[in-house]
Structure 1
Amino acid sequence: MARIIPFKAVRPTRDKVSLLAARSYESYTALQVESRLRDNPFSFLHIVNPGFRYHKEISGEERYGLVKNRYLEFKEDGIFMQDEKPSFYIYKIVNRDGLVFNGFVGATSVQDYENNIIKKHEDTLEYREVAFKEYLKTVGFNAEAVLLTYPNNQELTDIKKLVMQNRPEYEFTTTYRDTHYLWNVDDEELLKKIQDIFKKIPSLYIADGHHRSASSYLLAKDLKEENPHHTGEEPYNFFMSYLIPESDLKIYEFNRLVKDLNGLTKQEFLIKLDEYFRIENRGMEYYKPSQVNHFSMYLDGEFYSLHLRKSKYKITNALDALDTHILYVTILNPVLGIEDLRKDKRIEYSHGKKDLAYVKTVVDSGEFAVGFGVLPVTTEEMRKIADEGFKMPPKSTYIEPKLRSGVTVYEF
């Protein structure tokens, strides 16, 4: 059963939330970061980029200490306030494409993470886990929730509908044209009801935030060892999560782009692909796969459809059936020589919102030799892989919603 608890969020005052909320730092270009830091003194980017004040790039432990200082300054200046009662928060996002996401912000258990009640489908990099753990240990807060999903549950849906009949605590639209709403839930009877419903849910699934949840788990282990009076109820035993039903999750594909054909001519490359695929030249037709185990390929000014030969490729588990894994074990690794999908500089990825026109453009430019398109992973595939204990290849999913940092902050 899943353990979810309410917490006293630190969050911006109602008049400043639209100015403070920020996308993930990595999603901005350098020019965008500079303009926001220059023109908006309330942006959360001032906290995570503390060197701006000194016109200097700062990293490592020195940066961590300055991040904490900027955060404390925002609290001292009344930009942030803290709720008096432990609460859950119902967070709704209507994005610029008209997609609607709504779920609960709460604190989830690192013990559930350890015991695989919170299930993973993606490998993490140890150095990133450790680096973020040290960051959390220094700053003492987390401002970006892990995105978790749960099987559709009518009781939780009814609670959200009931609460959302009231005026939201926040309602703001970003320059990205997404509209955000937040409702505070602090009624003790309702809090218990939400917790009791989640206790009946056997598993939660990480949709986005594998490194953040892993780092929170490592942090809890460290602080437990340092605390002789550890009880298991300390705030560090939990991490902030945004929990949405599976039906609200929007998953896009990540297309693959490879810089060269690994020394092969076009004809030699196509002949090697023929072992595992039925190949059809589609010319200038924008071919997008319509079913699993079908792939698109753009090569030398033409699109191709690649249909997996089922008689040649054997599927024995959920990972074997995953299109991004099939692409790796039949083409990317044996034919194109891509060993490490995370580190090899010959491969790059473009998420499906950029579509095949982007793939065509960058291949035609000569920056890449070939591009591959796949279908988006389904929530069912993601769940099966996690349940069977496998991990997807990196960049298998581009998942929405993408949350704003700083709207709710979890302190430990």
Structure 2
Amino acid sequence: MAIIKPFRALRPQPALAKQVAARPYDVLNSGEAAAEAAGNPNSFYHVSKSEIDLPEGTDIHSEAVYAKAAENLQKLRESGTLFHEETPCYYIYKLVMDGRSQTGLVCVSSIGDYNNGIIKKHEFTRPEKEQDRINHITATRAQTGNVFLAYEDVPELNAIIDHWQQQHAPAYDFTAEDGISHTIWVIDTAETGDQITQLFAEKVPATYIADGHHRAASAALVQKASGEPIDSEANLNYFLTTIFPASQLAILDYNRLVKDLNGHSKEAFLSSLEYDFTVEAVGHHEQKPSMLHEFSMYLDGTWYRLVAREGTYTTDPIGILDVTILQNNVLDKLLGIKDPRTDKRIDFVGGIRGLGELVKRVNSGEMKVAFALYPVTIQQLFDIADSGNVMPPKSTWFEPKLRDGLLTHLI
């Protein structure tokens, strides 16, 4: 069963929360972070993307960047912009995007659970990305990036969280520049906190990483290197998480662009597709897939509807995924892309950018063909994690994103 705890968050003064809040470090580049932080000394980008305060061209993985992150975090504390909660608390975090809301519980989760598989994974991690986060955690002595977890709904937990929101005023409530609203409540009574801890211990057999595999892996590696016994209550034996009930989550599509047709003419490519798909030209208007195993393809100004034929996929948790069907029957078989992680001829576009981004990049001549996929479902993600398998790369895109800087876990 899942072990979680309340914690003493490092968090901003209420009047400064919007100034502090920053998008996750890995969804924007250094230039974008510098632009968003311009004129705002309270922005958490000074911690999460601290290269913005160093000379242009500085290696973002250099020791100077991590040292600057630690220095800037200390400045935010010394200025009073950030303060350390006096007692351990749970936090409720509600996000609203385009009229759809999702509400999660911010807590710290057990690294022991991560190590023994109670916290389940569905992606491989890359050593160089792990090392970046290890260096950042070690320098700042803080987990500044949140790991996004999901769990099967527990009605009693939902009821407690709903009741607290109705009965208490939020600590933070603002709408960011991108239109996403962020509201946070502080659960500061021991009685309610104990109820939540007990319910997770009794009713939640597993949690699932939705987003933040590298942040979780890095926290575990920092703990391991410390030599601290895993069963102690030390802060570094836990890592910062926000846990959402599955019913509130939506996964967006994660689409593909390819630079060329691997030597095929347009006509030969379309003909070859018909071995594994029904192929129907649907015109010039954007066409989103409406169901699993249906794909939309944009080629030479025309959208096509592709439906996978029976026999082109298996029914195991990985084989049935649309990303697998596309990879095996199109990207590999016809376009010669064996490893989408490393092949420079393929690119990936999160569904948050819409199909217009695919059209723009094909029409510009940068890319030759685009494929839009039906989103992976939460149940598919759970099934794969439960089976011990991992998804193909770039399978899931979650929105909205949690903001960094609102709740930090000090180790």
Q: Same fold (TM over 0.5)?
A: yes
Does the 8 Å CA contact 1:150/1:243 hold for their aligned counterparts? yes
Q: 1:195 maps to what in 2?
A: 197
**Shift in Å at residue 385 of structure 1?**
1.0
Counterpart residue identity of residue 396, structure 2 = T
**Which residue number corresponds to residue 112 of structure 1?**
113
- Give 2:219's aligned residue: 216
- Contact 1:144/1:403 (8 A) holds in 2: no
Alpha-carbon spacing, 1:367–1:39, altered in 2? closer, same or farther (3 Å)? same
Instruction: Please tell me whether the aligned partners of residues 49 and 67 of structure 1 are also in contact (alpha carbons under 8 angstroms).
Output: yes
Counterpart of 1:160 in structure 2 is 161
Q: How does 1:8-407 map to 2 (within 5 A)?
A: 8-28=8-28, 32-56=32-56, 57-59=58-60, 60-95=62-97, 97-165=98-166, 166-199=168-201, 200-224=203-227, 227=228, 231-310=231-310, 312-407=311-406
Which string of whole-angstrom CA distances, capped at 9 and with x for unpartnered residues, describes residues 257-293 of structure 1? Answer: 0000111111221232222111122232433222211
Letter in 2 for 1:333: D
Per-residue CA deviations over 1:360-396 (Å, capped at 9, x if unaligned) read 2221221111111110111111111111111111111
Question: Partner letter of residue 382 of structure 1?
Answer: L
**What one-letter code is carried by the residue in structure 2 that aligns with 1:389?**
G
CA contact (8 A) 1:143 1:407 kept: no
1:16 is paired with a residue whose SS is: helix
What is the Cα deviation at residue 135 of structure 1? 2.1
- Following TM superposition, by how much is the alpha carbon of 1:54 offset from its aligned partner in structure 2, in angstroms? 4.6
Any conservation in 2 of the 1:363–1:370 contact (CA below 8 Å)? yes
- Percent identity reads 38
Alpha-carbon contact 2:89-2:193 (below 8 Å) kept = yes
Counterpart residue number, 2:7: 7
Q: Give CA-to-partner distance per residue, 1:208-260, whole Å, 9 cap, x none.
A: 10111111111111112xx4x77532111110000111111121001110000
Distance 1:29 1:121, change over 3 A: closer
Check conservation: 2:112, 2:231, Cα contact below 8 A.
Answer: no
> Closer, same or farther in 2 for the Cα pair 1:295/1:230, shift >3 Å?
closer
The one-letter amino acid of 2:134's match is K
1:189-218 CA deviation, whole Å, 9 max, x = no partner?
Answer: 111110111112111111110111111111
* Distance across 1 between alignment mates of 2:374 and 2:325: 12
Q: Contact (CA 8 Å) 1:94, 1:179: kept in 2 or not? A: yes
Contact conserved, 1:106 with 1:241, CA < 8 A, in 2?
A: yes
Alignment check: 8 A CA contact 2:50 2:66 kept? no
Task: Name the CA distance, whole Å, in 2 between partners of 1:7 and 1:30.
Answer: 31
Distance 1:367 1:139, change over 3 A: same
Question: Matches of 2:223 and 2:266 in 1, distance apart?
Answer: 52
**Backbone CA RMSD of aligned residues:** 1.7
**Distance (whole Å) between structure 2 residues aligned to residue 244 and residue 205 of structure 1:** 10
**CA shift for structure 1 position 186:** 2.1
**Residues 285 and 170 from structure 1, CA distance in 2 versus in 1: closer, same or farther, beyond 3 angstroms?**
closer
Query: TM-score scaled to structure 2, two decimals?
Result: 0.94
**C-alpha distance in 1 between matches for 2:270 and 2:47:** 51
Q: Any conservation in 1 of the 2:284–2:302 contact (CA below 8 Å)? A: yes
| Structure 2 residue ranges without an equivalent (≥5) | none
Q: Is the 8 A contact 2:92 2:103 kept in 1?
A: yes
**Letter aligned with residue 34 of structure 1:** A
* Helix, strand or coil at the partner of 1:164: helix
How many pairs are equivalent? 407
Structure 1 gap ranges (5+): none
